[in-house]
Structure 1
Amino acid sequence: MRGVSVIQPACMPRKPWDLAFTAEPEEVAALRRIMRLHLGLWGLHDSIDTAQLCVSEMVSNVIAHVGPGTPTTLAVSINGTYLRIEVHDPDTRALPALLDAGVEAEGGRGMALVDAIADRWGVQLSADRKVTWCELATCLPSVRGQGEGARLMRVEAMLGLYGEVKLPRVTSFSPLSVAVAEEAVIDVITDLLHWLRAYGRDADEALDKAQMRFEADGCG
């Protein structure tokens, strides 16, 4: 099947991505299709409809209040267990606002709708652009959830044997603390490979199996 049949969309890494486009009404439908494709590949099927609606309203807000033809960027990432959607545009004056639009109104409902369906949203300003963002809760397991939390606790207990090493929490860390913990993790892996070799096992084969298991665990 020319390689297509071996692709497993649900296992695509959930890496942040962004897409530059020109804010025009005809672009909205294309952005919705792109969101559906990427979220499907990420296995976030339950979030697709809400995410598409947020993208539609946030981009339409740029078109309506900044103007058609505005150079805009859509950025999508995972923030903990939340799906984060950002729309970047160069106008720092036209800020999104909640309007008390009536049910029959054709305009003015965009950010009110985002406010109603997103778990949180906001606006970030910098010197040359603004970022309108929203976050949607997903069914992704918590970093401290049952499965992943057990693994992390085992690792932390093991690293305790390698000195006063404390793993940084996902919500609070510095590059230095991550680097220190990384070195300890490498020491642990190295010692485990030496242990396997000392008992006649193939260290390279074990490392390959661990890598495959690690990649499979990340596909949920």
Structure 2
Amino acid sequence: MTLELRLLATPKAVPELRHHLRNHPYDVRLCATELVTNVIDHVGEGTPVTVRVLGTDDGRTRIEVTDPDSRALPLLLRAASTDEHGRGMALLDALARRWGVEQGADRKTVWCEVEGLNSLAERGC
């Protein structure tokens, strides 16, 4: 099962995205919203994004967020306990089996894969 959503990366879009992903496991919802929040913080509020959630051949769930800025690449930072920002990619790195970036001339896709079945619905929940 593949889900694809086109939206503007705004703070209001984050809970809406969580709602669209309500039948997916918590890790999927958290990774997707962290990736969209990263676009808001580092590319700019109102940036058009495409969010895709799809199953992989090996049973993982892949989350992809594509935006039109190929230059603003995510960085894995070590935030201090007093820092107010900088934990999003560390959280994603801890949850995901693997993650990366695919760059194009006019866009980038940040993706991650989490373990487990593709959605709660597929587990009969």
1:121 aligned to 2:94?
no
- Cα pair distance change 1:22/1:114, threshold 3 Å: same
Larger displacement relative to structure 2 (101-110 or 73-82): 101-110
CA distance in structure 1 between the partners assigned to 2:28 and 2:90 by the alignment? 15
- Where does the alignment leave 5 or more consecutive residues of structure 1 unmatched? 1-13, 40-47, 141-217
Task: Output the amino acid matched with 1:56.
Answer: T
1:110-157, Cα deviation, whole Å (9 max, x unpaired) = 1111001111100000112100000011147xxxxxxxxxxxxxxxxx
1:70 deviates by 0.3
For residue 10 of structure 2, the aligned residue among 9, 24, 42 is 24
Q: Hey, what does 1:98 align to over in structure 2?
A: 76
1:105 deviates by 1.9
CA distance in structure 1 between the partners assigned to 2:11 and 2:108 by the alignment? 20
Q: What pairs up with 1:158-173 in 2 under 5 angstroms?
A: none
CA distance in structure 2 between the partners assigned to 1:62 and 1:131 by the alignment? 11
1:219 deviates by 8.2
Task: Output the amino acid matched with 2:103.
Answer: L
Task: Output the amino acid matched with 2:112.
Answer: C
For residue 71 of structure 1, the aligned residue among 44, 48, 51 is 48
Q: Hey, what does 1:87 align to over in structure 2?
A: 65
Normalized per residue, the structure richer in helix is 1
Q: TM-score, normalised by structure 1?
A: 0.52
1:134 aligned to 2:112?
yes
CA distance in structure 1 between the partners assigned to 2:123 and 2:18 by the alignment? 24
Q: Hey, what does 1:35 align to over in structure 2?
A: 21
Task: Output the amino acid matched with 1:122.
Answer: G
Aligned residues of 2:117 and 2:123 also touching (Cα < 8 A):
no
Provide the identity percentage: 48
CA distance in structure 2 between the partners assigned to 1:27 and 1:86 by the alignment? 16
Q: Hey, what does 1:204 align to over in structure 2?
A: none
CA distance in structure 2 between the partners assigned to 1:103 and 1:32 by the alignment? 27
CA distance in structure 2 between the partners assigned to 1:114 and 1:219 by the alignment? 23
Larger displacement relative to structure 2 (100-109 or 23-32): 100-109
Task: Output the amino acid matched with 1:137.
Answer: E
CA distance in structure 1 between the partners assigned to 2:21 and 2:100 by the alignment? 20
Q: TM-score, normalised by structure 2?
A: 0.89
Pick the structure with greater CA Rg: 1
Q: Hey, what does 1:153 align to over in structure 2?
A: none
For residue 111 of structure 1, the aligned residue among 89, 104, 109 is 89
Structure with the bigger RCO (C-alpha within 8 Å, sep 6+) is: 2
